[in-house]
Chains A and B, each alone.
Chain A
């Protein structure tokens, strides 16, 4: 059993888009058999919380030099490129 990964899900207010994105990630990871925990936050909180995360998925612009991979998650809202983004997330979480 691999270690539970933490995905920081960021959006402007931590209430709307990150809720949708977090749910989609949880469902996809469950299906892929990857133990994952999501934590929602506002974009402004990302720099502080980044060190506790294995991956950041965001729907608003955040700094890229956080030492943690950042993936754009807007696809979960618009559906455009959703499969690729999911794939990217799962590959990132499969890494040790």
Chain B
């Protein structure tokens, strides 16, 4: 399954005003929990993982991303949640945990069987590798715009 099948429209939060990464994770995780995709404890576990093994990704452009996620035991059904930030919030670099990464695009992954979600994971990596797509996502005003950018990405070249 691709991104557009796994991303629930209600799990898209655009131009979020958050003070820190915790607020973003609580918001997106809370939505996935309310929609029944993840179990109670998902948010706490994701926050704990983020603290010990961060998921911030410097993308080399104006906008950086983070991909918070956690062990499969907290996931009922695979899903994605996406937030764009009005002002960047600090995540820490996945590779250099000491380093702060100002992030404006957050894609939260709730995975149960990663091998079968490889297509979606590759698409997420595909997004991160295209600064133009990242910037269009970050400036999207409606969930419909987000979907149209993603559908373009999924369409066979």
Question: Which A residues are within 8 Å of any B CB, using their own CB?
Answer: 12-13, 15-17, 19-20, 23, 43, 59-61, 72, 74, 76-80, 82
13 further A-B contacts with Cβ under 8 Å, apart from A12-B55, A16-B69, A76-B125, are: A12-B53, A16-B109, A20-B118, A20-B124, A20-B125, A60-B94, A72-B95, A74-B94, A74-B95, A77-B125, A77-B129, A78-B60, A79-B128
A60 contacts which chain B residues (CB < 8 A)? 53, 94-95
A13 contacts which chain B residues (CB < 8 A)? 49, 53, 69-71
- Decide: A59 and B59 in contact? CB cutoff 8 A: no
Residue-wise interface mask of B (98-142) relative to A, using a CB-CB cutoff of 8 A (1 in contact, 0 not): 000000000001010011011001101100111000000000000
Q: Compute how far the CA of A13 lies from the CA of B129 in the bound complex, rounded to whole angstroms.
A: 22
Q: Does B11 contact A (CB under 8 A)?
A: no
Question: Which B residues are within 8 Å of any A CB, using their own CB?
Answer: 49, 53, 55, 57-60, 67, 69-72, 94-97, 109, 111, 114-115, 117-118, 121-122, 124-125, 128-130
A76 contacts which chain B residues (CB < 8 A)? 125
Q: Compute how far the CA of A15 lies from the CA of B111 in the bound complex, rounded to whole angstroms.
A: 8
B121 contacts which chain A residues (CB < 8 A)? 16, 19-20
Q: Compute how far the CA of A13 lies from the CA of B146 in the bound complex, rounded to whole angstroms.
A: 28
A15 contacts which chain B residues (CB < 8 A)? 69, 71-72, 111, 114
B72 contacts which chain A residues (CB < 8 A)? 15
Knowing A78-B58, A79-B129, A80-B59 are in contact, say whether A16-B95 is a contact too (CB < 8 A): no
B65 to A, closest residue via Cβ: A78
CB distance from B68 to the nearest CB of A (A): 10
The answer, among A43, A78, A80, for a CB contact under 8 Å with B53, is A43
B95 contacts which chain A residues (CB < 8 A)? 59-61, 72, 74
